[in-house]
Structure 1
Amino acid sequence: MSSIIQLLPDHVANQIAAGEVVQRPASVVKELLENAVDAGASEIKLIVKDAGKTLIQVIDNGKGMSVTDSRLCFERHATSKIRFAEDLFSLHTKGFRGEALASIAAIAHVEMKTKQDQEELGTHIVIEGSKFISQEVAVLPRGTSFAIKNLFFNIPARRNFLKSDTVEFRHIVDEFERVALAHSNIGFILYHNGSEMFNLPSSNPRQRIVNIFSGRTNEKLVPVKESTEIVEIEGFVCKPEFAKKNRGEQFFFVNDRFIKSGYLHHAVSAAYEGLLKDGSQPGYFLYLTVPPNTIDINIHPTKTEVKFDDEHALYAILRSAIKHSLGQFNVAPVLDFDRDANLDTPYNYENKEAVMPTVVVDRSYNPFADEKPSRPTSASFSSSPSFRKAEKAPVWESLYTELTQTSEEVEGFSFESEEVTGSLFNDNEVEQAVQKTYQIHKKYIVSPIKSGMVIIDQKRAHQRILYEQFLTNITVHHAASQQLLFPLMLYFNRSELDLIEEMRGALENTGFVFAEFNSDHIVISGLPVNVVESEVSILIEELISDLQQEVPDTSFSQSDSIAKSMARSLAIKTGILLTEKEQENMVNSLFACKEPGVSPFHKPTFITVSVEDLDKRFAI
């Protein structure tokens, strides 16, 4: 019998490895940027076309590679960062994955140019699908340039799974920001389709955060610093009043490597206990430095999750450090037993004696006298006010005389008694017109029908009503807008502004009017009719958060996501008391919808209870 197991060819093995290393263009960006940082570069350029599908180029001024190294770097399990297995637990560099460049070269056209500082000439290599096309000597500047063209050209199935350019570029920006925040001493530039998106000069961590997340970010930051034998913590947390609904501005760096840790995030949230509203997320940029032998960074393929030796101690230190910073900078309420400066004697009155007040009394004043003195003295005015009594008060009973008559003539007008002589409606109609709907526990609306009754969830019903209204306005391009007397100015970071710019047309169709779009803020001069001015910032933040999580591809799905998010934010919440007219309007509007039975999130809006069901309940 012939053998079944056989070794795979190198190009097939590289394509399989590429599936683990390269999920999307952002994965290539991460690998190349980290290699450039490890090469000791002081300036790194990232050039992207068509969200990385056509071109991803990383240019650095690092130490470069020799002729032999430039060829070996594309071999599997070839790396300059480890020599022994023990080195995995004492890494001071970024990546060490040996198959990274080999995997990228297996699924793209790669062009590499590199030159060392002491060499006069560099090396120019071209690879297409793991196949070496050429290797030449060239005149090049110091450093390395990787150009990755036509990603997934030989794996069309993987290319078809890529999202839209907007979504893929958003992932590239995320990876770019993480590397740039971890290395503020390196200058970074990002170009997309010929336009400069970021130009970050070498600076300090605070300035780097401000350069990436707009100028007003500087007001939000509270410095955090703590040094122990277990960990050294530096960085910034955001003030509680700048907390957002989404988890965008949350960054952990361990030994200059971006990580995700729900355990450490819980420690930060615990430090904000009592300072944040329900559902709000704190922002933070925290840099942790720990001994390399106390962490394991190999538990996740993308190295974004790590395992700490002593997580409990790290949790307690991080929580205490943040709590201390919030209290130290008067962000959190603290007990203060020192004297109150407001109770101190002012400087101008420090050497003056106290003046005793004098009391002047008008001894001739008699409140029971019929008349006052004709000429009151000045003392009477200074002591207390006095009022002149009427010479003769009318008897109050006389005001109501002759009002018991059924009619009277006053200047030619006759007034009839208000005695009700009859009713415009019969008794049955009056009973039916008393009330058609009832509200239970400020949550459900009960309305009688012929077969029984309908119980409506007011929150879900209002979501369905608003959803169909907003979706109609977006698609029909017609909506009413209320102009603001004082325009609103709202600040956002660059990525959030790009997202708002992308959905600007849909928002304008719902009733928003944008007066200005600047590099770090927007100005809104008009709002939809059912939007309150105080809810605008919360509404847009929730909208951005929903779009970032769902990541819509097409214009229709984006319009649908906008309508859903706005409906969820503006819908009547549970616990709000509705008047009878509001209840009736809710019922009528719900059953005028195209799909009244379910909310935009596919949950039932009402249930029906028939008379037969009630009879069965009461059956003995």
Structure 2
Amino acid sequence: MSSIIQLLPDHVANQIAAGEVVQRPASVVKELLENSVDAGSTEIKLIVKDAGKTLIQVIDNGRGMSVTDARMCFERHATSKIRFAEDLFSLHTKGFRGEALASIAAIAHVELKTRQEQDELGTHLVIEGSKFTSQDVAVLPKGTSFAVKNLFFNIPARRNFLKSDMVEFRHIIDEFERVALAHHNISFVLYHNGSEMFNLPSSNQRQRIVNIFGGRTNEKLVPVKESTEIVEIQGFVCKPEFAKKNRGEQFFFVNNRFIKSGYLHHAVMAAYEGLLKDGCQPGYFIYLDVPPNTIDINIHPTKTEIKFDDEHALYAILRSAIKHSLGQFNVAPVLDFERDANLDTPYSYEHKEAVVPAVEVDRNFNPFADEKPARAASAASSFTAAPAFRREKASSWESLYTGIAPAADEIAEMNFESEEVTGSLFNEAEVEQAVYKTYQIHKKYIVSPIKSGMVIIDQKRAHQRILYEQFLTNITIHHASSQQLLFPLVLYYNQSELDLLREMRQALENTGFVFAEFNLDHIVVSGLPVNVAESEVSILLEELINDLQQEVPDSSFSQTDSIAKSMARSLAVKTGTLLTDKEQEAMVNALFACKEPDVSPFNKPTFITVSVEDLDKRFAI
């Protein structure tokens, strides 16, 4: 019997490895940026076109590579970061597996330009699907330029699985921010489709955070610092009043490497216990420095998860450090045993009576009198007692109306309509139906009787359906009304959030929003939809931005649908809200006036029907 196991060709093996390393354009961005950081660069430039599908180029001024290294870097398991297995437990660099460049070259057109400082000429390589097509000597600046074009050109199935440009670019920005936050001493620039999105000069940690997330971020930050034998902690946490519904601005860095850790996140949430509203998440930028031999990085393909030797101690230290910082900067209440001695009252004052202040009044002062007589009278009787004021009795008010008797011909007869009921506006069946009432159960469900039994409505889902169809109609027909604000609202956002709002500006204005200004770091809202309260605007736009960042479809109709769904979910009446009888009746009528009243915008049932027969069966037991 012949053998059935065989070795895969290199190009097939590289494509399979690429499925683990390169999941989307953001994966390429992460690998190339980390290589530039490891090369000792002080300036890194990222150029992206069409959310990375057409071009991803990283240019740095690092050490560069020799001719041999330039070819070797595309081989599988070729790396300059480690030599022995023991090196995995003393890592001080980013990439170390040696699979990234080989995987990228297997599924894209790659152009590499590199030169070392001591060399006069550099190397120019072109690779298409793991095949070297050209190698030339060229005059190049010091450093490396790595261009990845036409990603997944030979794997169309993977390319079809990519999301919209907005979503893919959001992932690229996430990777860019993570690397930029971890290395504040390096200058970063990001261009997308020819437009400069970020220009981050070399700075300190706090300034780097402010440059990325906007100028108003500075007032949110509370510094955290702790040094122990196990870990050295530094960074910032955000004040509780700036907590958001989504988990956007939350970053953990271990030895300047971004990680995700639910365990450490729980430690942060424990430090904020009692300070946050329900469902809110605090922002934080925590930098942990631990000995390399106490962590294991190589447990996840993307290296975003780390195994710690002593997680329990790390948890306790992180929680206490954040709690201490919140108390130190008067964010959280603390016990203060120090008192100001100046506020103490001497014991000798215990039985002492309070001194009543003497008040002198000039009772002859008249502001309406002539100036000279007033002064004379005031001088003659300065601070002398005067008789009490007397109010003259007014004349009888009846005398004001004498001689105004009405003429006889001006008095008209007033005929009153008979109150006798001659008929009914409704027939008996309609009157019987009108006396039916709706009832609210547990501030969650509305029960309304119908001919065949009763209908039980979920008030939250029903209101979502009502608002969804209203917003969808307003956006498409452009006739929404607005309420103008006396004092316009100024809301601050970072660059990516502002770009998203600009993209959705027309659709938002069709729902009733009025935007007076769109500036570099904030917007000015001067008008709101009729059913949106001023206090809800910030929360509504934050949730809308979060929803759109997670999934923005390509077509304009789908974008409109996403906006209508997000706004309906944010503004719908919540479970636990008490509704009046009129509100219940209005909701029932509005629900059954919808085009699809039986499901919410998220395809969940809005009501169920219980027939009289079903009730009879239950009682027949």
TM-score band, normalised by shorter chain:
0.7 to 0.9
Secondary structure in 1 matching 2:241: helix
Find the counterpart in structure 2 of residue 372 from structure 1.
Answer: none
Find the counterpart in structure 2 of residue 92 from structure 1.
Answer: 92
Tell whether the 8 Å contact from 2:511 to 2:529 is kept in structure 1 after alignment: yes
1:518-572 CA-partner distances (Å, limit 9, x unpaired): 1111111111111111110011111112222334343333222211111111111
Secondary structure in 2 matching 1:496: helix
Tell whether the 8 Å contact from 2:167 to 2:549 is kept in structure 1 after alignment: no
When residues 432 and 120 of structure 1 are mapped into structure 2, their CA distance, relative to the original with a 3 A threshold, is closer
Q: Amino acid of the residue matched to residue 484 of structure 1?
A: L
Q: Matched residues in 2 for 1:390 and 1:422: separation?
A: 54
User: Once the 2 structures are TM-superposed, how far is the Cα of residue 436 of structure 1 from its aligned partner?
Assistant: 3.2
Tell whether the 8 Å contact from 1:167 to 1:553 is kept in structure 2 after alignment: no
1:404-459 CA-partner distances (Å, limit 9, x unpaired): xxxxxxx9799999x99879769967765445323333322222211122221221
Q: Matched residues in 1 for 2:301 and 2:435: separation?
A: 68
Q: Matched residues in 2 for 1:146 and 1:188: separation?
A: 15
Find the counterpart in structure 1 of residue 157 from structure 2.
Answer: 157
Find the counterpart in structure 2 of residue 483 from structure 1.
Answer: 484
Q: Amino acid of the residue matched to residue 607 of structure 2?
A: F
The answer to whether residue 527 in structure 2 is matched with residue 538 in structure 1 is no
Secondary structure in 2 matching 1:94: coil
Q: Amino acid of the residue matched to residue 258 of structure 2?
A: F
User: Once the 2 structures are TM-superposed, how far is the Cα of residue 248 of structure 1 from its aligned partner?
Assistant: 0.8
Question: Is 439-448 or 427-436 further displaced after alignment?
Answer: 427-436
User: Once the 2 structures are TM-superposed, how far is the Cα of residue 199 of structure 1 from its aligned partner?
Assistant: 0.8
Tell whether the 8 Å contact from 1:214 to 1:519 is kept in structure 2 after alignment: no
Q: Amino acid of the residue matched to residue 275 of structure 1?
A: L
Secondary structure in 1 matching 2:203: coil
Query: Which consecutive unaligned segments of at least 5 residues does structure 1 have?
Result: 346-352, 361-377, 392-410
Q: Amino acid of the residue matched to residue 27 of structure 1?
A: S
Q: Matched residues in 2 for 1:412 and 1:337: separation?
A: 84
5 Å-filtered alignment, 1:218-367, equals 218-339=218-339, 343=343, 356-357=355-356
When residues 413 and 294 of structure 1 are mapped into structure 2, their CA distance, relative to the original with a 3 A threshold, is farther
Q: Amino acid of the residue matched to residue 76 of structure 1?
A: R
Q: Matched residues in 2 for 1:119 and 1:413: separation?
A: 114
Find the counterpart in structure 2 of residue 577 from structure 1.
Answer: 578
Secondary structure in 2 matching 1:319: helix
Query: TM-score scaled by structure 2?
Result: 0.87
Find the counterpart in structure 2 of residue 368 from structure 1.
Answer: none
When residues 590 and 430 of structure 1 are mapped into structure 2, their CA distance, relative to the original with a 3 A threshold, is closer
1:109-129 CA-partner distances (Å, limit 9, x unpaired): 111111111122221212111
1:263-287 CA-partner distances (Å, limit 9, x unpaired): 1111111111111100111000110
When residues 236 and 430 of structure 1 are mapped into structure 2, their CA distance, relative to the original with a 3 A threshold, is same
Tell whether the 8 Å contact from 2:166 to 2:549 is kept in structure 1 after alignment: no
Find the counterpart in structure 1 of residue 363 from structure 2.
Answer: none
Q: Matched residues in 2 for 1:177 and 1:321: separation?
A: 25
Tell whether the 8 Å contact from 2:167 to 2:551 is kept in structure 1 after alignment: no
5 Å-filtered alignment, 1:124-135, equals 124-135=124-135
1:156-176 CA-partner distances (Å, limit 9, x unpaired): 222222222222111111111
Tell whether the 8 Å contact from 2:170 to 2:549 is kept in structure 1 after alignment: no
Find the counterpart in structure 2 of residue 142 from structure 1.
Answer: 142
The answer to whether residue 516 in structure 2 is matched with residue 509 in structure 1 is no
When residues 461 and 340 of structure 1 are mapped into structure 2, their CA distance, relative to the original with a 3 A threshold, is farther
Number of positions where the alignment pairs a residue of Structure 1 with one of Structure 2:
577
Q: Amino acid of the residue matched to residue 314 of structure 1?
A: L
When residues 160 and 358 of structure 1 are mapped into structure 2, their CA distance, relative to the original with a 3 A threshold, is closer
Secondary structure in 2 matching 1:216: helix
Q: Matched residues in 1 for 2:385 and 2:229: separation?
A: 79
1:462-506 CA-partner distances (Å, limit 9, x unpaired): 111001111122222331122212111111111211221222222
User: Once the 2 structures are TM-superposed, how far is the Cα of residue 577 of structure 1 from its aligned partner?
Assistant: 2.7
Q: CA RMSD in A?
A: 3.0
Q: Matched residues in 2 for 1:277 and 1:312: separation?
A: 27
Q: Amino acid of the residue matched to residue 557 of structure 1?
A: S
Q: Amino acid of the residue matched to residue 477 of structure 2?
A: V
Find the counterpart in structure 2 of residue 397 from structure 1.
Answer: none
Q: Matched residues in 2 for 1:431 and 1:136: separation?
A: 92
Q: Matched residues in 2 for 1:460 and 1:381: separation?
A: 75
Q: Matched residues in 1 for 2:11 and 2:535: separation?
A: 59
Q: Matched residues in 2 for 1:452 and 1:18: separation?
A: 60
Q: Matched residues in 2 for 1:587 and 1:270: separation?
A: 42
Q: Matched residues in 1 for 2:414 and 2:280: separation?
A: 64
Q: Matched residues in 2 for 1:309 and 1:159: separation?
A: 40
| Percent of aligned positions that are identical | 85
Q: Matched residues in 2 for 1:380 and 1:422: separation?
A: 73
1:226-253 CA-partner distances (Å, limit 9, x unpaired): 0001100000000111111111100100
1:295-331 CA-partner distances (Å, limit 9, x unpaired): 1111110000111111111011000000100000011
Find the counterpart in structure 2 of residue 112 from structure 1.
Answer: 112
Tell whether the 8 Å contact from 1:442 to 1:578 is kept in structure 2 after alignment: yes
When residues 507 and 386 of structure 1 are mapped into structure 2, their CA distance, relative to the original with a 3 A threshold, is same
User: Once the 2 structures are TM-superposed, how far is the Cα of residue 359 of structure 1 from its aligned partner?
Assistant: 8.3
Tell whether the 8 Å contact from 1:435 to 1:580 is kept in structure 2 after alignment: no
1:334-364 CA-partner distances (Å, limit 9, x unpaired): 122332589479xxxxxxx99832689xxxx
Tell whether the 8 Å contact from 1:245 to 1:545 is kept in structure 2 after alignment: no
Q: Matched residues in 2 for 1:390 and 1:342: separation?
A: 58
Q: Matched residues in 1 for 2:168 and 2:298: separation?
A: 26
